[in-house]
Amino acid sequence: MLVGIALNDDDQAFVEYWCVEVGTRAVAGSPLLGLAGLCLGHTARRFGHLSDEALALAESLAMRAAADSSDVDGRALDGLDDIRSFLRRRPVDP
């Protein structure tokens, strides 16, 4: 459902809200963490920008994925790649 929202909903604030909710509430090791990071990447690709909170979460999830894929899966890294490619304001490298 989160992917569908990220790819199809036209309300960026709504999409970001749910990505952040999922990405901050899921427990370590949950596949929802990587999914949230991936969906933030989709959001950046579609809208060209992210809120500071969403960007910070995407960077944090990607750093966690780079450090330990059993904590956050690699989809968070894919999301950060999209953010680097499509965000008008570039994120800091993990």
Residue segments in the chain with a per-residue pLDDT below the cut of 50: 91
Q: How far apart are CA 46 and CA 3, in angstroms?
A: 13
What pLDDT score was predicted for residue 93? 55
What pLDDT score was predicted for residue 22? 98
What pLDDT score was predicted for residue 1? 92
Q: How far apart are CA 83 and CA 3, in angstroms?
A: 16
What pLDDT score was predicted for residue 48? 94
What pLDDT score was predicted for residue 94? 54
